[in-house]
Amino acid sequence: MPELAGNLRRPALSGGRVAVGKVTRPHGLRGDVHVLPYAENLMDLLPMEEFFLEPEGGRCLTIQEARGRASHLVVHFRDIDSLEQTRPLLQQELWAERQSFAALPPGDYYWFEIEGLAVHTVEGEFLGTVQQILATGSNDVYVVQGERGEILVPAIRGFIHAIDLEAGILTIRNLPGLLDYVD
């Protein structure tokens, strides 16, 4: 069944890079910083070694050490060894190359693979495109925007028929009640 690894919270996607978190504040005096990840599962980001401060180009930061906390990471980047050196990083988004994300098992997808897909019913009706993914706790919900307005599609087996990333299409089953409120 479709799953969103890490359930990333609607950061931007730009070319080959994905916004994965934000440097929020310094931690101590030796150059460590707090990073608020856009992932529910902090461990999804720990295997990544390099981050960028811009969606294209920009300074590359290499992780020297990282450890997870309750809702954030404490990261030490190579060559950032003082409180003063952390200041230009504060409130900056961190971007990672798409290819730095771990491969997922079949049927599992990252948010950036789902957002932007064209959504069709199994009958062939075009409904719109996935604009956002909401994490509701029990299951994700795809927010589809089209001519009929906003449609909320639960990301569960009963509704999702197929996901074809190469074609850029998400096919859903039009179960009773799903589209009734948008007509």
Query: The tokens of 128 are what?
Result: 């719109």
**Average pLDDT for residues 49-61, to the nearest whole number?**
87
pLDDT value at residue 12? 56
Is 55's pLDDT higher than 90? no
What are the residues whose beta carbons fall under 8 Å from the beta carbon of 73, sequence distance 6 or more?
Answer: 21, 34, 35, 37, 42, 45, 46, 66, 67
Confidence of residue 19 (pLDDT cuts 50, 70, 90): confident
Residue 154: which pLDDT band, with cuts at 50, 70 and 90?
very high
β pairing state of 3-4 and 108-109 = parallel
pLDDT at res. 1: 38
CB 14, CB 95: distance < 8 Å: yes
Confidence of residue 4 (pLDDT cuts 50, 70, 90): very low
Give 109-124 pLDDT, tens digit per residue: 888 889 899 999 999 9
122-145 burial, b for 16+ CB within 10 Å, e for fewer?
eeeeebbbbeebbbeeebbbbbbe
Chain length of the chain = 183
Specify the CATH number of the domain 115-182: 2.30.30.240
Check for a shared fold between 11-101 and 115-182.
no
pLDDT per residue as tens digits for the range 63-97: 999 888 767 889 999 999 999 999 999 999 999 88
Q: What is the pLDDT of residue 5?
A: 41
Predicted confidence band at 43 (pLDDT cuts at 50, 70, 90)?
low
Domain boundaries, the chain: 11-101, 115-182
Query: pTM of the full predicted structure?
Result: 0.71
Q: What is the band of 135 on the pLDDT scale with cuts at 50, 70, 90?
A: confident
Q: Give the distance from CA 71 to its chain's centroid.
A: 16
Q: Which of 33-47, 55-69, 130-144, 148-162 has the lowest mean pLDDT?
A: 33-47
What's the CATH number of domain 11-101, 2.40.30.60, 3.90.950.20, 3.40.50.300, 1.10.8.60?
A: 2.40.30.60
Say what the pLDDT of residue 182 is.
59
127 has pLDDT over 90: yes
Task: For tokens 């969103």, name the residue.
Answer: 4
